[in-house]
Structure 1
Amino acid sequence: MKVYLNQVQLDQYIKSYRIADYFSDFDYFYKYLKLVRFSKNDVVYKDKETLDYIYFFLSGKLKVCNNLSNGKSLLLCFFEGFEILGDLELYQIASPSNSITVIKESYCVAIPVKDERVKGALLKDVKFLNFLSFSLAKKLVTISEVSSANILCTLQNRLAKYIYYLSEKNTDKSSAYNRVFRENLTETAELLGTSYRHLLRILQQYVQEGILEKREDCYVIKDIGRLKLLSSDSYV
């Protein structure tokens, strides 16, 4: 995580995302706000870590996983649009039970809740609490939809969504295709709740259908439209 001290840039984000509207007394909180940047593979929250900051997630792409007691992880969802992170943990109901990892450079506005004065003021701010209630309700709906997708959607659908979200720009200028998938397949199988062998079968099916092309170190996406169509109804 890199903290930016550029107040002008912070003010631009605050104005663009109307962050002041979520507080009854924004002037009090303003002096504590920090603009931060997370690079790819940075961990925003780690399972059972102490919560030092809550974040207004502004731009980029995040992967949210649930960490199980057996040491494995299960993919829950992706975040791309404006969200607040750490809302449930702010109420001290639990330490973070999910991990949030950056999959594309992301910008957030951070609020230091390790400062008890700030945390106490947040929990007394009616407008902020109303915003948190809306955020938690929206996430409850998302988790319900994700649970349904895990049960009802095929691995083909869920893998297509995973590849679509985690694909990256192809740096091979000689290639006619501009997106590639380079993720660790063992980890991918675990996150999607399947076996490595079954995952390879589905990937081979995509290759045979002309959706992907296998290269030495990655899969090239040949038909992004069909991949996106396959990914519908999974991981909202």
Structure 2
Amino acid sequence: MKEIHDRQQIDSYLKDHQLEAIFAGPLSEHLSLYSFDQGECICSKGDPSGTLYILVKGKMKIYTTTAEGRTLIICFKTPLEVIGDVEYIQETEMLNTVEAVSPVQTLGISYVMLKKYGKDNPALLQFLLEIITQKFYRKSDFLSLNLMHPVEVRLASYLLSISFDESDPSFTGQLKTINLVDTADFVGTSYRHLNRVLQKFCRDGLTERSKGVILVKDRKGLSDMARRNIYE
């Protein structure tokens, strides 16, 4: 994580995402701008929480870990998304792990400043309420529908999510084959079955395995298989 000292860029993001009325006055003055490299962890499940992050550029992956130690993808998010909102309200440690899929920029403000200048701010409280309710609705929908989809649909959706960022056409991600065990966990299947599905994708010309990475060769074909991306 790197802090970017650019007040003009902060003001530009506030305007672009219609946040000027929410983070006004002292709240705006205490906002910072941070950048995260592709693959960098923004926060980990169980970490102490202390900063509210607002995703304003790039794509991030949100996942959780079960009591058995398995990981399960929850969703991929593009702007506008907030990290640390539930933890701020509940005063808890981080509930999920968040990782940058593409280069990411976030606005950030400490909980201390939020409590000092935002606890009686109706615009901020309404903003947090809307964000949190949307999150719980999406999570409920995900948990009820995700595992009902065939592995082919889940894997197609996952490959699309890690390989493309609609807000950054220049970004083309790759899945390293060394991460296939994690990928199997993310989409809720076994490593062996994941390999079988990937082999079928390669035979059908959807993907290609080359030099330790998996490349998407037919984006439209994967999109048609996924029907709609269940992770976004």
Residue of structure 2 in register with 1:185 after alignment: 180
Matching of residues 1-236 of structure 1 within 5 Å: 1-23=1-23, 26-92=24-90, 94-113=92-111, 115=112, 117-167=113-163, 180-182=174-176, 184-233=179-228, 234-236=230-232
**Alignment deviations for residues 145-191 of structure 1 (CA, whole Å, 9 cap, x no partner):** 2113323111101100111111269xxxxxxxx77433510110111
What letter matches 2:5 in structure 1?
L
Q: TM-score, normalised to structure 1's length?
A: 0.88
SS at match of 2:59: strand
What letter matches 2:69 in structure 1?
G
Change (3 A) 1:60 1:179: closer
Residue of structure 1 in register with 2:168 after alignment: none
> Aligned equivalents of 1:223 and 1:105: distance in 2?
24
> Aligned equivalents of 2:30 and 2:139: distance in 1?
31
1:122 deviation in Å? Answer: 2.3
Q: TM-score, normalised to structure 2's length?
A: 0.89
Partners of 1:168 and 1:180 within 8 A in 2: no
SS at match of 1:156: helix
1:27 deviation in Å? Answer: 0.6
Q: Which runs of 5+ in 2 are unaligned?
A: 166-171
What letter matches 2:138 in structure 1?
T
Alignment root-mean-square deviation, CA: 1.9
What letter matches 1:3 in structure 2?
E
1:220 deviation in Å? Answer: 2.6
1:11 deviation in Å? Answer: 1.7
Paired residues in the alignment total 224
> Aligned equivalents of 1:211 and 1:96: distance in 2?
37
**Alignment deviations for residues 124-157 of structure 1 (CA, whole Å, 9 cap, x no partner):** 2211111111111211221122113323111101
What letter matches 2:136 in structure 1?
L
1:18 deviation in Å? Answer: 2.1
SS at match of 1:190: helix
Change (3 A) 1:179 1:37: closer
> Aligned equivalents of 2:173 and 2:45: distance in 1?
31
> Aligned equivalents of 1:68 and 1:122: distance in 2?
34
1:123 deviation in Å? Answer: 2.6
> Aligned equivalents of 2:4 and 2:174: distance in 1?
31
**Alignment deviations for residues 1-35 of structure 1 (CA, whole Å, 9 cap, x no partner):** 11111212222212222222224xx1111221101
1:120 deviation in Å? Answer: 4.0
1:118 deviation in Å? Answer: 3.3
Compare CA radii of gyration and give the structure with the larger one. Answer: 1
> Aligned equivalents of 2:131 and 2:19: distance in 1?
14
What letter matches 2:223 in structure 1?
K
1:93 deviation in Å? Answer: 5.2
> Aligned equivalents of 1:212 and 1:122: distance in 2?
48
> Aligned equivalents of 2:60 and 2:145: distance in 1?
19
Q: Which runs of 5+ in 1 are unaligned?
A: 170-177
